[in-house]
Amino acid sequence: MSHTALRHLVIVLGDQLNLDATALHDFDPSCDAVWMAEAMQESTHIPSSKQRTTVFLSAMRHFAQTLRAQGWPLHYTALDTPDAPSTLADALNRAIEQLRPQALVLTAPGDWRVLQDLRAVARAHALPLQLRDDLHFFSTVREFAEHAKGRKQLRLEYWYRALRQKTGILMVDGKPVGGQWNFDADNRASFGKQGPPPIPAPQRFAPDTITQDVMALVNSQLAHHPGHLSSFGWPVTRDDALLALQGFITQRLPLFGQYQDAMWEGEVWLYHSHLSCALNLKLLNPREVVQAAVDAYTQGLAPLPAVEGFVRQILGWREYVRGIYWTHMPEYLERNTLNAQAELPAFYWTGDTDMACLRDAIGQTLQHGYAHHIQRLMVTGLYALLLGVKPQAVHAWYLGVYVDAVEWVELPNTLGMSQFADGGLMASKPYAASGKYIQRMSNHCQGCRYDPAQSTGARACPITTLYWDFLMRHADTLAKNPRMVMQVNNLKRLTPEQREAIAAQALAHKTV
């Protein structure tokens, strides 16, 4: 194929590793080529952890290997290619100059910034950029925008029900299977004093030579980035991702719902699926994941509350946050309704804190690039919310540290759900709680030098102190929210002296 004959240069990004991507639909190997590039800036615009960067690069290299083996013409720039451009835009500029395509083709990316950069490159070369819908998802952004039109408030539940109806998933004769849409009430158990039942060993995948090469590269070029690689075991190929799915369905799904919110010291994996990374890289299609869970229910292998709870995460939350991201970017990124201005505490990068719950959640995050939803929302997210950390700093941390972090899903979860920085667009109330919530849902407090029941004094739990301080600081705003009235009313129990002592103790945490 001569360079001048190139019809389409098809861009495949690091989170678009599916052979059925729309960008590849009409691919003609006689006149098209695939283009992929590893760009250092994607790991440095926020401090991407070693686990996260390794997942992306290794999965990209494995996907490139599959493309080559199947005879797809591919131009691939590796991070360690001599003189490799440091940004995606520069790498694409160079490829266009060398290959002279007639058009660029791209499946809609997951990151607003990347889309703007690639559009600018196309404009600069006066090249058409064909942007195609991402059919990986159950819904389109246009459908979400239509659903949101005219609604004063967006709520997951309505969107989720609309998608259940549209897809027929867990529906019978137009009604939800089991007679109810939502089994949340069955899905909030803690492990109790006795702790979790025996937990199946997690499905982990030993690094092959491709992954080992990436690990060596990351350890040398990004040595100062957060986290470690010694325990790396994420699926980076579709085959491994399918094994991980199968392992979850047979071993963890039956207890997924019941223990969805529970935490236990030192237990990283619990009954969660650990599939977010494979889903977000598109090694797995959400339809096959949801179908596998529904099949487990119909075959009597998993109870309905567990299956409905799992389906709601993927068909509901995952599609919902994507809709919010794309209908509100780029202004969403700047939102800060509660005017939070504190810096992110340094211990978020080390786990070096006396607070047992935060130490555990951050420690496993740095070790594995993973924490489950309640650890993200009600431990690390909660502390940052109560302390009043700038939402953009919290966002940079979440986008950097987790293996599943791509901006379309990370940003609404962080800025909207966990920091309430969008003023209630995403969540109906701030997820504010005292240390007593963590005591109820875990055993962390038993081994902690603090006491969740105390808000002042040497043993006061910092989360409890900051909880009351948060309510006092934002009482006027929060009192207008019907779902917060009860919490705000509890402030009346505090004497002026108690309020003063709490504020003083909270200040000490803010200035650490």
**169 near ligand FAD, rule: CB under 6 A:** no
Task: Pick the closer one to ligand SF4 by CB: 391 or 452.
Answer: 452
Question: What is the chain's length?
Answer: 512
Footprint (CB under 6 A) of ligand FAD, residues 261-320: 272-276, 279-280, 310, 313-314, 317-318
Footprint (CB under 6 A) of ligand SF4, residues 341-380: 355-357
Task: Decide: 4 and 100 in contact? Cβ < 8 Å.
Answer: yes
| 89, interface contact from ligand SF4, ligand FAD, none, CB < 5-8 Å by kind | none
Bridge partners for 77 per DSSP: 37
- Interatomic CA distance for residues 103 and 90, integer angstroms: 17
Shortest approach of ligand FAD to residue 93 CB, angstroms? 29
**263 near ligand SF4, rule: CB under 6 A:** no
**Token pair 């919110």: residue:** 261
| 22, interface contact from ligand FAD, ligand SF4, none, CB < 5-8 Å by kind | none
Task: Pick the closer one to ligand SF4 by CB: 246 or 446.
Answer: 446
**398 near ligand FAD, rule: CB under 6 A:** yes
Bridge partners for 8 per DSSP: 32, 103
Q: Determine the interface stretch with ligand FAD among 207-215, 223-231, 411-419, 458-466 (rule: CB under 6 A).
A: 411-419
Amino acid at 110: G
Among 404, 448, 462, 470, binds ligand FAD (CB under 6 A): 404
Bridge partners for 10 per DSSP: 34, 105
Distances (CA, A) of 316 to 125, 309, 310, 422: 40, 10, 9, 20
Footprint (CB under 6 A) of ligand SF4, residues 447-506: 448, 450, 452, 461-463
Footprint (CB under 6 A) of ligand FAD, residues 358-377: 372-373, 376-377
Footprint (CB under 6 A) of ligand FAD, residues 413-442: 413-414, 417-418
Q: Determine the interface stretch with ligand FAD among 144-152, 159-167, 231-239, 410-418 (rule: CB under 6 A).
A: 410-418
- Interatomic CA distance for residues 426 and 325, integer angstroms: 10
Q: Is the peptide bond before 330 cis (omega within 30 degrees of 0)?
A: yes
Footprint (CB under 6 A) of ligand SF4, residues 408-447: 435, 438-439, 444-445
| 417, interface contact from ligand SF4, ligand FAD, none, CB < 5-8 Å by kind | ligand FAD
- Interatomic CA distance for residues 434 and 461, integer angstroms: 9
Which residue in 10, 185, 178, 27 sits closest to 101, CA to CA? 10
| Coil/strand/helix, residue 36 | strand
- Interatomic CA distance for residues 373 and 124, integer angstroms: 42
333 C-beta neighbours (distance < 10 Å), count: 17
Distances (CA, A) of 190 to 196, 258, 374: 9, 8, 12
Interface positions with ligand FAD (CB under 6 A) = 272-276, 279-280, 310, 313-314, 317-318, 321, 372-373, 376-377, 381, 398, 402, 404-405, 409-410, 413-414, 417-418
Interface positions with ligand SF4 (CB under 6 A) = 355-357, 435, 438-439, 444-445, 448, 450, 452, 461-463
